Chains A and B, each alone.
Chain A
Amino acid sequence: MTKSYAGRDASTGSIDDLHGDVAVDEVELAEELLGAADATASDDVAAYALRLGDDALILAQQLGWWISRAPELEEDVALGNIALDLLGHARSLLHYAGTASGRTEDGLAYWRDEPEFRSAWLFEQPNGDFAHTIARQLFAALYFEALYSRLRDSADETLTAIAAKAVKEVAYHVDHAEQWMLRLALGTDESRRRITVAIADLWPYLDELFRDDELIERLDAAPEGAIAARPSALREPVMDAVAGILSACELDAPTVPFAAGGGREGRHSSYLGYLLAEMQVLARKHPGASW
């Protein structure tokens, strides 16, 4: 397919043409995918990339909801930018994951059902009010930052290339979340009340991010060197950073039990189904559609 903007052609004058024939150049977009173009993931590496890609994809879909609904237009754009960064990570990771089974990034995003998604529960938690979205952003961005900064040392070249680009982007996501944490926590009584509730509501979903399992052990023991960023090794840097920002916000860490989790095995809360239904309906209703 080629990129075509029919409305620009002087011979086709009608206004309708401006919106009638815009095709996305998949070849051009493919050049933006990171890592070696012909790299093929092993089954284990693909399973790992799928986890990371699903985390980014689900959070991107969640943040997109805010566009037109944030407190100000400027915040619409900020959250939209973050969502697009995450979507870029998801594209590269899901493309790489798909190389093991011959599936495309779109095939993985639109044609899997809930039990096939490997995202952690934190990312499917509802947007809630603005404070809940910021609390989720804080935890997610600090997790991504610790993850990608370590993944730059992976023995897998495609993962290191993705991580090297992502780590710069998530540093800004951390900054965005921290700035809002400070303003909500130290702002008005109402904003402080809301962010306190939000931190307590999202806190139970932190633990799942730091759990190792058999896949991680196998990737850690790979003959070419450690491929995954070990989740348990991320706990200390992430929780230290969380403690730092909570202290600056004059908030106490909540004492609430951890959620069961299970997203890495395909067990999800009821929120994911609704989210996927909205994300996938167009692609499933019109298979092969382009715009």
Chain B
Amino acid sequence: MSTPGAEPDEPWPLWEVFVRANRGLSHVHVGSLHAPDTEMAIRNARDVYTRRNEGVSIWVVPAEAITTSDPDARDAFFESPAGKNYRHARYYDKAEGVRHL
């Protein structure tokens, strides 16, 4: 990746933002933003996504560091669990004499 701003028309890289609303909760994806580097990304996230008291902690992740599943391959990717109840242990009878199960 070239230096942000080196080319006049080059936009800043994209970052994905995760905010934790309270202690004990997980960070939740809230959106994305542009920023020239990590320090500015965390500050921009603070300004854009937590200006009305939304959170106590922020993560920013370069969007290009996230690998996503292919939306077009959704059927093949997520179909297999359906109709395969044998994958769930609760469909098996417990053998007699097994305790603490």
| A interface, CB within 8 angstroms of B | 72-75, 77-78, 81, 175-176, 179, 183, 187-188, 191
Contacts and interface: CB of A to CB of B under 8 A. Distances in A.
A273 to B, nearest CB: 32
A134 to B, nearest CB: 13
A183 B6 contact: no
B43 interface: yes
A74 B51 contact: no
A78 B43 contact: yes
Interface of B: 5-6, 11-12, 33-36, 39-40, 43-44, 47-48, 51
Chain A contact surface mostly: helix
Given A73-B34, A74-B35, A74-B48, A188 B43 contact: no
Nearest to A175: B43
A188 B5 CA distance: 8
Given A72-B12, A187-B5, A188-B6, A78 B44 contact: yes
A179 B43 contact: yes
Q: In the complex, which of the residues B36, B39, B47, B48 has the most CB atoms of chain A within 10 Å of its own CB atom? A: B47
Contacts of B40: 179, 183
B49 to A, nearest CB: 10
Contact of A176 (B5, B6, B43): B43
Top 10 closest A-B pairs, CB basis? Answer: A74-B44, A78-B47, A77-B47, A81-B47, A77-B48, A74-B33, A72-B34, A81-B51, A74-B48, A74-B34
21 contacts: A72-B34, A73-B34, A74-B33, A74-B47, A75-B44, A77-B44, A77-B47, A77-B48, A78-B43, A78-B47, A81-B47, A175-B43, A176-B43, A179-B39, A179-B40, A179-B43, A183-B36, A183-B40, A187-B5, A188-B5, A188-B6
A188 B35 CA distance: 16
A134 B16 CA distance: 26
B7 to A, nearest CB: 10
A74 B33 CA distance: 7
Nearest to A74: B44
Contacts of A81: 47, 51
A221 B22 CA distance: 47
Contacts of A179: 39-40, 43
A242 to B, nearest CB: 21
B34 to A, nearest CB: 5
Nearest to B36: A183
A77 B52 CA distance: 13
Contacts of B39: 179
Contacts of A75: 44
B33 to A, nearest CB: 5
A65 B7 CA distance: 26
A178 to B, nearest CB: 10
Contacts of A74: 33-35, 44, 47-48
